[in-house]
Structure 1
Amino acid sequence: MHDAHFLLTDFLFSISAFLAIALYIGAVIITNRRGRLRKWSWLRTASFVAGVLLAAAALVGPLARLSHADFTAHMAGHLLLGMLAPLLIALAAPMTLLLRFLNVRLARKLSRLLQSPFIGFYTNPVVASVLNIGGLWLLYTTDLYSAMHSSLLLHIIIHVHVFLAGYLFTISLVYIDPVFHRFSYTYRTVVFILALATHGILSKFIYAYPPTGVPIEEARNGGMLMYYGGDAIDLLLIFILFRHWYQSARPLRVGKAV
């Protein structure tokens, strides 16, 4: 990519990050002033801001530029954009905030949209996993990885997909926002385990068979970062999923004891 392309992507992604943070904080301020509901958690706000900033760090600035020349840096950006940032943003419950912010008529329309089969299809853990992990297999085992470094449009599309697929995958496993198409903890856990295994296999595949144009040492470093860094972030997802599972089962245990 040329310097002009970097300037354009820096502008687009920076503006998007700024608008996302401004809209979220603005919605928090307005809903808190209404006083009808409990004050919005500052931890959720901090989580959203941190998530957006981490995503922006993968797309704008030194890391984004270095990732075009160094595969290890690219993989660090992948972990931020496709895994950690989506998790932090999901924990910020943006849909819940939006429902609080909207008037009753618009909130009902949004609720109907969330209940639609279209949303239910894409938030199915299996579908979300295929979009997320399958997309990575397609990126790193074909010429798509090298092609995105010479095409501005492809560069933007792939990075947007990585973030959205990572976010869909996260919210399909852990329910923070209102969920109208719910799946059992057992089902979500089984799909999660399979996704973890597939992600791990891909990292080992990259280690042994580098993507087109990637030097072997960079591929090995990037593969190891993907494997161990991905596991570290997945541990957070596992903790949240199992904590929710434990909390949902706890009243049943108390009832049995009585």
Structure 2
Amino acid sequence: MGHHPHGHGHNAGSGTPDWLPPALLLLAAAGAYLLLVRRARHRNPALGWSRWRTGFFLGGILLLGVALLPPVAPFAHEDFRGHMAQHLLIGMYAPLAWVLAAPVTLLLRTLPVSRARRLTALLHSLPARVITHPAAALLVSTGSLLVLYFTPLYNATTTGPAAHWLLHAHFLLSGCLFAHAIAGPDPAPARPGVRTRLVHLGVAIAAHAVISQLMYGGILVDIRAPIDQVQGGAEVMYYGGDLAELLLAAALVATWRPEPRRARSRGAWRGVVPARNVSGGS
């Protein structure tokens, strides 16, 4: 019951190993990022580009490679515990690494001015502000787990490779969205303060804990797999998700920059000139 009907090893009729297309895509993504890094350093040698950012991106590539290539990929096809490990790698760990690589900032540094302005305008648009708000990102990433595991949707994704790859894409994109909304160093005009983001992260932690506990108890879930696999997958989600969210919280603290103190309310001390004006600062 836990085995995915679509096979693994080679694509039907083509003789191409299943692992080759994702491996090529990952290599292409790594090459594209490194090319942009080279261009950014050439355009502004003094500013350069952080090796840490590059390391985070390549680390994300490595994590995705572990998730999508043997031996994890075949194990995920046959065992729900493997699916959950793959889910965490694709949907939580790799997205955090990629977000910390600041790909949007890198793109803005390498695009021509006119295109960079268009991208900036897009980032400030209403749809972008809505989708990158932590509440929306939480709904898309964590909320979708309820639909996936508590309806027949998960079972439907095991019927063919197309649905399976769409699920991977959803995990990756929604994970990047949530990590960006909480702790991303890239521009985010609608990103609220640290306290609000910590609240949304806390809700995500609590939701993951509840979902994994319901899954372990077999309550309301709709997963066609042996009980021991479902319970093992729930444990992987519980402990692996906690670690990923702790890393996200650490990233939030590491990327947080305190905002300058604003002048006191005008009504609090009337007639008192703000200190920044007294000092003559600009």
Scaled by the length of structure 1, the TM-score of the pair is: 0.91
- Aligned partners of 1:78, 1:90: CA distance in 2, in Å? 17
Q: How does 1:48-63 map to 2 (within 5 A)?
A: 48-63=57-72
| Alignment gaps of 5+ in structure 1 | none
Q: Partner residue of 2:258?
A: 248
The question of whether the paired residues in 2 share the 8 Å contact of 1:5 and 1:152 is answered with no
Q: Structure 2: how far apart are the matches of 1:35 and 1:244?
A: 23
Q: Which residue of 2 aligns with 1:41?
A: 50
Cα distance in 2 between the residues matched to 1:215 and 1:231: 24
Letter in 2 for 1:136: L
1:131-170 paired onto structure 2 within 5 Å: 131-170=140-179
Partner of 1:65: 74
The alpha-carbon deviation at position 14 of structure 1 amounts to 2.0
Amino acid at match of 1:200: A
Matches within 5 A, 1:213-252: 213-245=224-256, 247-248=257-258, 252=261
**Greater Cα radius of gyration, structure 1 or 2:** 2
Whether the aligned pair in 2 keeps the contact of 1:211 and 1:219 (CA below 8 Å) is no
- The yes-or-no answer on 1:182 pairing with 2:184 is no
Which of 106, 112, 116 in structure 2 is aligned with 1:107? Answer: 116
Using the TM superposition, give the Cα deviation of residue 15 of structure 1 relative to its aligned residue in structure 2, in angstroms: 2.4
Shift of 1:229: 1.0
* 1:126 aligned partner, one-letter code: A
Q: Which amino acid aligns with 1:191?
A: H
Q: Deviation at 1:242?
A: 3.3
Counterpart of 1:84? 93
Q: 1:244 to 1:23 in 2, by over 3 A?
A: closer
Cα distance, 1:11 vs structure 2: 3.6
After the TM superposition, which segments of 4 or more aligned residues of structure 1 sit over 4 Å from their partners? Answer: 4-9
Alignment CA distance shift 1:106-1:238 (3 Å):
same
Over the matched positions of the two proteins, sequence identity in percent amounts to: 36
- Count of aligned pairs: 253
The structure carrying a bigger helix percent of its residues is: 1
1:53 shift after superposition:
2.0
The alpha carbon displacement at 1:22 in A equals 0.4
- Whole-angstrom CA distance in 2 between matches of 1:96 and 1:88: 15
**Which residue of 2, 6, 10 corresponds with 2:7?**
2
Aligned residue among 124, 136, 141 for 1:127: 136
Q: Which amino acid aligns with 1:248?
A: P
Q: Deviations over 1:85-137 (max 9, x none)?
A: 00000011000100111111111111111111111111011111111011112
What SS is found at the alignment partner of 1:177? coil
Query: Is the deviation greater in 192-201 or in 50-59?
Result: 50-59
1:15 aligns with 2:15: no
Residues in 2 aligned to 1:141 and 1:94: alpha-carbon distance in whole angstroms: 34
- Cα distance in 2, alignment partners of residues 232 and 91 from structure 1: 17
Deviations, residues 133-172 of structure 1 (Å, cap 9, x unaligned) = 1111211112222221212221111110011000001001
CA distance in 1, matches of 2:110, 2:46: 11
Q: How many angstroms apart in 2 are the aligned matches of 1:145 and 1:8?
A: 25
Query: What is the TM-score when the length of structure 2 is the normalising length?
Result: 0.83
1:10, distance to aligned residue in structure 2 (A):
2.8
Partners of 1:207 and 1:219 within 8 A in 2: yes
Structure 2, gaps ≥5 residues long: 1-5, 262-274, 276-282
d(CA) in 1 for partners of 2:11, 2:214: 31
- RMSD (Å), alpha carbons: 2.2
